[in-house]
Every structure is written in structure tokens, then in C-alpha cells.
Structure 1
Amino acid sequence: MHSKHINTSILTKSLLVLTFLLSACGAKKNGSSESAAVQQQVDENAPLPVLGEKKIVDGLEVPHSIRPFSFTDQDGKPFTDKQVKGKIYVADFFFTTCPSICPKMTGNMKLAYEAFRNDSNVYFVSHTIDPEFDTPEVLKQYARDKAYDEPRWRFLTGDRDSIYAICEEDYMAHAAPSDKEPGGYIHSGFLVLVDGNGQLRGAYDGTVQGKAEDLIRDIHKLKKEASQ
């Protein structure tokens, strides 16, 4: 289920994502289609922002980034941060028995994956928020049934606390058990774009049609940035 509330510790981080999403709209309120077109062109050419709060380490300002991690993929093999080091990747959080937003999210993920199917520098990573049920075997069958079982699209399970910590603290998403929601969980539907340095560069509402195109556009931006 889509998250309808967030705790205070997540609010500031979420506002950073919201600010990015609003700034990416490129729409003016003056009613001028010409001005809107110019603004859109400027936005398309502008570099993507680095999302998240910076921290001070040894007196130096360090951008927010994803911590080292180790989970297990649908093939029962370890999948760590080292496997996406220097790669662009898209991350989301879901569960296989989700009756609401997850099919829309994975549908948008698949559209983006298809655009980069043959690009070894772009990965897709889906983390289950129900690791007790979503074993590697369950994830494997889910991926096969949905035609998502691809070498650079990994479905990850692992320690519950580690998954929830990286979800909220690193990817600035939200997930929590909830007996009031269909499926027993409440979670955000963002697809999060991460660059080769492990830094967050975009967040896209995976429940909205057309957001896959925005994600694809911004992956191309990061590829161009990485090549310069």
C-alpha cells in the first residue's frame, strides 16, 4: 500500500525529494507556453541534483550516499554494494504479495529496464519488505512469472532490520508493517535513481503512468555525466 504517513525523522529527507520533484516539473505559472518550453529545455539540460543531507566527516562536507550492503538475490547468491559500484542503478521496495501499488511500480521498472537491457552499466534492484515470506525461491518464482528474471535486475531479500534501515535512512523511502493495510504493509512507491558514486540523483513515483519516461531520460543524463 502507498504510504500515507511518515514519521518525523523521515520528513526532512522526504521534503528534499519533494523539492526535486517540484523543481523538475519545469512549469511556469504565467500561462506562457513559450516560457514553459524554454524552462523545460533548461531543466532537460541541467545536471541532476544530489539528493539527501550532507554530513561532516573529518571536517569535510560529504554528500549523502548509500552505505555498504549485503543481501541475497533471487538465485540465492550474495548481492553487495560492490556489484553496483561505478554503475547507475534504480532501487525500489516492494513485496511479492502486494495487492496494490507494487504491480504498477514493477511495471514502470520493467519499462526502464527494457530501455537499458543491453547496457551492462545500468542495474535494477528490488528489495522485499517482507523477507520472512519472500525467500530467494519465492522471489525467483515471482521474477519468472512476471518475466522480470533478468541478469541485471536483482530481487533482494535478507535481514529485516538491514532492509528497513537502508530503505529509510539511505534511500529516503518508507516501509512498515501495518495490519490496517491490504497485504499487511505500508510503503512508498518511489523508484530511486543512484549514480556510480552511490549518491541519490532522482526519485520517481512508480505508481504514476509516464514516470518511467522521466526515469529513462535521467538515466541517460547520468550516463552522459559519467562519460565526461
Structure 2
Amino acid sequence: MDYWAPKIAKMFRTAFLLLSSWFIINCSEKASDTMALPYYNAPDFTPVFIQNEAEVKEKIPHTIRDFSFINQDSALISQATIEGKIHVANFIFTSCISICPVMTKNMKLVSDSLKNDGSVAFLSYSVTPWIDTPSVLTAFKVKNNIRNPHWHFLTGNRSTIYALARQSYFAEEDIGFSKDSSEFLHTEHFILVDKTKRIRGVYNGTLSLEMQQLIEDIKTLKAE
């Protein structure tokens, strides 16, 4: 009995230490998984971290302004359509043969993972709206096998789209922010916007690796 007592005690201590280590690691992982996303309040995309939600309205006044365009089905899509939803925006044109096909493919990766989730919308604004009519956008959507009903390809007034891209979404960061509506808009950025119309993430739409981060960040926003 005296021989086994120290060994049993040692086993219990080892088990306790292992259990404690697992608990600490597990809690740390959960904490990192639920870490709040930053806010972006300026075109230079300097992240602003706020723990107290009551401070958001005071410190993050910038929001995506209201908009109204038509989609590939000639249906009116406005801020009211996505009110209270998370959305991801990008800016493309159907005749683009450089970065747009890659961006569309990568956006589809994200869209397909959430195609049955009505709480997340995808908005692809055309930067050549005089070419990308609803019928052209419909053909583009079919060509790319896009079936998510919450992904809208939008067309409308050029200057209105460009102003929204540069002044609301900061689509070209601080460089694009200084341009006017006469200068062609071309950006690889995907912009993540939360339910309160505030920017919470920016991603390089040509990099498939960043799409997994975007998916995870959408999950984080949904949990807020």
C-alpha cells in the first residue's frame, strides 16, 4: 500500500496538469476564434478596435450610404433590400479579362459556402454599367454557374456607382478616394460590411487563400 500511494498520487497530479493545460489551450483557442473584427473608418484602412459597442456610433461614424440600382433580373436592389444583413461588395466588369474572372471565381467560393444563408448578401457592382445591362449580367451569372439568389450583379448610373465605390466602400483606398467619377475604377478589393453598414474587412479578391479568412470573418460577424 505504501509503495503504490506515491505512484497513484503522481498519476493524479499528472492527470490534473494535463486537464488544466487542455482547458487553458481550449479557452485560448475559443477566445481567438471569437475575437472581434476591427472597424475601418477612413480610406487608408487603418483598423480601429473597439471593445465597447456603445462607443461604435461615436468613434465610427462612417457607414455605407444608401444606394439603389437594378440587378441582373432588372429588379430594384437598394439598401432596404439588405437592411440588417451582412454583405460583401466588389467591383467588376463582364468584359474584363485580367483580374475580374479570378475575383468572380473567388467570390463564388465564398458565396457557395453561404448560398442558403439569407443573412449574407453579395453585391457585385459593374464599373462599366453602360455595357453591363441586366441581360449581359444575367448571361455572365449563367456563364459562371452562380446560383446564390442573394448575389446581385448591379448596374446603373456610372458616376453614382463610382462615388459609392470610392467614398463609401473606399474601394481603391486613399489613392482612389482622391479620384473623381471620370477616372476608371478598377480594384481587386472585396469589402466586408456588417449589419450596421460599417466596414469590417478588406480582402484581396485575387487571392483564394484570403477567401477562407473572409468566410471566417463572416462567421464572426454573424456571432456578434
Partner residue of 2:82 out of 81, 84, 88 = 84
Shift of 1:130: 0.2
TM-score (norm 2): 0.73
Shift of 1:148: 1.5
Shift of 1:186: 5.4
Cα deviation, 1:75-124, whole Å, max 9, x if unaligned, reads 01110011111001100000001111111111111111111111110111
Task: Could you tell me which runs of 5 or more consecutive residues in structure 1 were left unpaired when the two chains were aligned.
Answer: 1-38, 55-59, 178-183
Tell me: CA distance 1:173–1:40, structure 2 relative to 1, closer, same or farther (3 Å): farther
Partner residue of 1:172 out of 170, 173, 196 = 170
Task: Could you tell me which runs of 5 or more consecutive residues in structure 2 were left unpaired when the two chains were aligned.
Answer: 1-27, 43-47, 49-57
Pairing 1:51–2:40 present: yes
**1:20-31 correspondence runs (5 A):** none
Higher Rg: 2
Cα deviation, 1:140-186, whole Å, max 9, x if unaligned, reads 11001111143100000000010000000011113789xxxxxx955
Corresponding residue number in structure 2 for 1:121: 119
SS at match of 2:124: strand
Corresponding residue number in structure 2 for 1:215: 214
Corresponding residue number in structure 2 for 1:94: 92
Corresponding residue number in structure 2 for 1:143: 141
For the Cα contact (< 8 Å) 1:70–1:80, is it kept in 2?
A: yes
Between the aligned residues of both structures, percent identity stands at 39
State the distance in 2 between where 1:126 and 1:149 align: 14
State the distance in 2 between where 1:132 and 1:40 align: 49
State the distance in 2 between where 1:187 and 1:153 align: 20
Shift of 1:45: 3.1
For the Cα contact (< 8 Å) 2:203–2:210, is it kept in 1?
A: yes
SS at match of 2:40: coil
State the distance in 2 between where 1:90 and 1:63 align: 20
How many residues were matched structurally?
Answer: 177
Higher helix share: 2
SS at match of 2:73: coil
Q: Over the residues paired in the alignment, what is the CA RMSD in angstroms?
A: 2.4
SS at match of 2:77: strand
State the distance in 1 between where 2:124 and 2:145 align: 14
